Chains A and B, each alone.
Chain A
């Protein structure tokens, strides 16, 4: 629960490396293929904006297109020649027909088979587009006819579910216009699709992660850091800290597996130099539909000078909440409304969670304007409390005896926003501080672990006293002087559409081995895991426990994930449940869609290395 700046070490974020400079040279974008596709007359296209394809009938073709974001030309995988793919605009209550053809050239680095998954969309499982589940994928030269009823509205996205193609460019936004009037008004509407680009082929990056998972972590604690800590914290605390991290064979600077040392971040397919721009007139309300289409990158987003009112999360309306900043997990979407005035330009600033880089764009009254771009924040380091790793040597978790329900109950009613903020400052490594937060736990006590984790060579750590952390802004965002969105602060606008108490609970642990880059649920990789079976029509609860030191966005296809609040009530309807280190979060599932559905970490390379299960809804 502490915030330690590590900005003093070499290679700090303010240091503009040669590589960053080189990255900035290319504004980016598709080089060719434009013009290959006959644009329908109803396509709405203005300069710098992604093409919008509205309607119910769609002809989509997946192919290879050379792109240049870094100064080097690389073959991206694109849809209708565009990166990101065109915005699909549907209407709630209609039936859409999408014919997706595979026009990948022979010998493409992206393989022979492709697919499109409609992320967060309720549909029959054979329309979901995840090869190997209820669908075979689309082979070269063939096409697949997707057809389903649109039963929801809001901001979603679509992406490939094959051969790591979503890393290489196959992702786009879906906007579904509501059948009923929306509970807020706005004058302009923009998609802000964030993503991470690498010149490496996804396969090469996967191989590199397997060889050297720490490749991008140039921020290991140094001898200099040791002496600084010695000076600031004293010998005893410094040695104890180093001993504990050493005991775990881990490094507290490990915030993300792949960062800006590998990635160039994009906003709507444009680099920061390209400066994607959204226009406004002073006083207008502008709806920004943020989508994180990254393979591996969490972004912390803010628009200096503007409050953002979050009105929807993962496409579903929430009670409006006004914030300065939000963290968007991979595959999440947030709709915000801003009312820019008083300046001609505002910077939309999204830095990666590891503080290694950023992507920026501009809200401006006309093209060509820019506002100052803030510096990347100091790099945070993980603390043992972040992982609720209490059992490992005298830190907070062993105060669990205090977490009896009688004490917890009065805490649960505390104002969440204050609760979090009040407890954060000065809670460095603080065992004593933990006593202030019992209400966040679903009942306290030491965490137990499935038998399949015991003695498992691919489980390198376990959390001891996880908490929901719903009101925790997250690593690097606590106490930063800005109001940061949390899951606790968002609440779905409508009440639980199902309403039943979950009939049963299944607990699944997020597990992994950092050094081997092996990821799994309960220590069992997808290749050897049995499906999780749900009965059609049942209401059940899935409780996730994060036993790793990484943050995982967990996505269940086909069914909503209704996150429960700390008192176990329906709280927030999502399609991605973000799981910070040391967190334990429960969500309700209504099994009302028959079939085989992927359930996985949406960090692409975690999924690829085994952090996936099949959820099978059967009669």
Chain B
């Protein structure tokens, strides 16, 4: 009894976590919007931006504004470069000017004539028209790239604008759609048969989503048929919202068609990809007549080759109250461990074989014994995984 009570508390804890995370998601939503309004140019790094080597000299001096300032907002007046920077420029300009003289051998660029150098692009090319590799490689790296201090006016003047250019640049446009696109995914993770006693059993488990990258409508279903009749079947319809790159919170409803009379639950939970790529679903449920439940599932893909993949999984179901009519005991009710080996002929067509061990715990054990059912069961399954 004591253990049962603890399990009950665990179930409630999962629900509580779900609720807290839902609240977090609301907060995340607000955050998103504020971010979206933020113009991209505001992304000022706290660290110095990458600066030319000459600016690095500044940094070693005293960390002057040129290297530590707010670069995104700092507008260098091209006519008046900051003094410290000019020093640095001047010095490196001298260095490079010297290098250039050596390498250029009389070509008419020079450190003191940036204006002439600006006309160089076409002229530069002429001495090379024979494509003398030796001469090319002999040139000093960087020799031609610079001609003294950076000019404050562009070498190639900025062309003045005409009214017709202004009109052409910003024409009236038909509204163009850039909205978020809606996508969908439906995965039939398990559709498998097993040898039931008597007859053949069938199990399914699937999920799907429709929506954007961060807001999705989720569908989940699982169930079992044995010897032509449905033993259990449920469908969950959930709204899911991404709260981090790897985790979604979900909230919605679960409807159990079987076992027993159908019943509905409110559902809250988290799902996502844990470190090491464990796929996790943890959901808490509050039912119509005060029943509570929790379901916890973990799956993992272990590739043996690009197409041969072993999928271990664990699933546990917990309930708050014993429900004899449905064969459900309070606390940890049932748990299942599965190992399925699939071969992906194509991504969409992956038959598999597997072994599944399922057993009841706590009160559920007693209920099963009362019904002359087995407490545990080992099944060999054969199935198909597909998606669309």
Contacts and interface: CB of A to CB of B under 8 A. Distances in A.
Contacts of B158: 536-537, 590, 592
B387 A584 contact: no
Given A185-B129, A525-B180, A567-B53, 12 more contacts: A132-B176, A183-B129, A220-B303, A249-B273, A451-B38, A494-B121, A497-B118, A499-B155, A513-B213, A513-B245, A530-B40, A569-B142
A406 B174 CA distance: 55
A592 B126 CA distance: 27
Contact of B276 (A181, A247, A337, A509): A247
A201 to B, nearest CB: 15
Nearest to B156: A497
Contacts of A405: 56, 59-60
A11 interface: yes
B62 interface: no
Contacts of B60: 405-406
B133 A619 contact: no
Nearest to B167: A126
Contact of B166 (A460, A500, A594): A594
B36 to A, nearest CB: 4
A61 B109 CA distance: 48
A494 B183 contact: no
Contacts of A416: 141
Given A412-B53, A497-B156, A507-B45, A443 B59 contact: yes
Given A249-B277, A527-B180, A536-B161, A448 B145 contact: no
A495 B347 contact: no
A95 interface: no
A503 B78 CA distance: 7
Contacts of A500: 78, 150-154
Contacts of B56: 405, 408-409, 443
Interface in B34-73: 35-56, 59-60, 67, 71-73
Contact of B171 (A134, A222, A564, A568): A134
Interface of B: 28, 31-32, 35-56, 59-60, 67, 71-76, 78, 81, 89, 109, 114, 117-118, 120-122, 124-126, 128-131, 133, 136, 139, 141-142, 144-147, 150-156, 158-159, 161, 165-166, 168-171, 173-174, 176, 178-181, 183-185, 213-214, 242-246, 273, 275-277, 302-307, 310, 347, 387
A17 to B, nearest CB: 11
Interface in A568-619: 568-571, 584, 586, 590, 592, 594-596, 609, 613, 617, 619
A322 B40 contact: no
Contact of A445 (B47, B52, B114, B165): B47
A243 interface: yes
B245 A212 contact: no
Interface in A157-177: none
Q: Which of A249, A457, A500 has the most CB of B within 10 A?
A: A457
B128 A126 contact: no
Interface in A479-523: 491, 493-501, 503-509, 513, 515-516, 518, 521-523
B23 to A, nearest CB: 15
Nearest to A404: B60
Q: Which of A182, A211, A224, A566 has the most CB of B within 10 A?
A: A211
A554 B74 CA distance: 25
A126 B168 contact: yes
A17 B161 CA distance: 59
B250 to A, nearest CB: 14
Contact of A455 (B28, B74, B114, B184): B28
A617 B49 CA distance: 23
Contact of B304 (A184, A222, A319, A504): A222
Contact of B170 (A516, A566, A595): A595
Contacts of B129: 181-185
Nearest to B388: A211
A222 B303 contact: yes
Given A182-B129, A498-B156, A522-B40, A568 B47 contact: no
B4 to A, nearest CB: 36
Nearest to B52: A568
B120 to A, nearest CB: 6
Contacts of B303: 220-223
A207 B184 CA distance: 8
A381 B347 CA distance: 22
B147 A445 contact: no
Q: What's the dominant secondary structure at chain A's contact region?
A: loop
A284 to B, nearest CB: 14
Contact of A210 (B40, B159, B185): B185
Contact of A495 (B78, B120, B126, B243): B120
Contacts of A180: 122, 125-126
Contacts of B31: 455
How many A residues are at the interface, by size bracket?
A: 35 or more
Given A221-B303, A319-B139, A452-B35, A496 B131 contact: no
A395 B212 CA distance: 35
Contacts of B178: 132, 526-527
A524 B40 contact: yes
Contact of A448 (B45, B71, B89, B181): B45
A504 B162 CA distance: 26
B213 A518 contact: yes
A228 interface: no
A246 B173 CA distance: 47
B165 A124 contact: yes
Given A457-B214, A495-B109, A569-B142, A320 B133 contact: yes
Interface in A514-554: 515-516, 518, 521-530, 532-533, 536-537, 539, 543
Contacts of B306: 9-11, 218-220, 222
A247 B275 CA distance: 5
Contacts of B307: 11, 218
Contacts of B117: 495
A450 interface: yes
21 contacts: A124-B168, A127-B168, A221-B303, A222-B304, A249-B276, A319-B139, A443-B51, A443-B59, A455-B244, A457-B214, A457-B243, A493-B121, A496-B145, A500-B154, A506-B41, A522-B40, A527-B178, A568-B54, A568-B55, A569-B146, A590-B158
B35 A506 contact: no
B141 to A, nearest CB: 7
Contact of B43 (A134, A522, A609): A522
B71 A223 contact: no
A536 B161 CA distance: 9
Contacts of B48: 443, 445
B107 to A, nearest CB: 11
A142 interface: no
Interface in A175-217: 180-185, 207, 210-212, 215
Contacts of B114: 499
B347 A246 contact: no
B242 A457 contact: yes
Contacts of B145: 491, 495-496, 565, 569-571
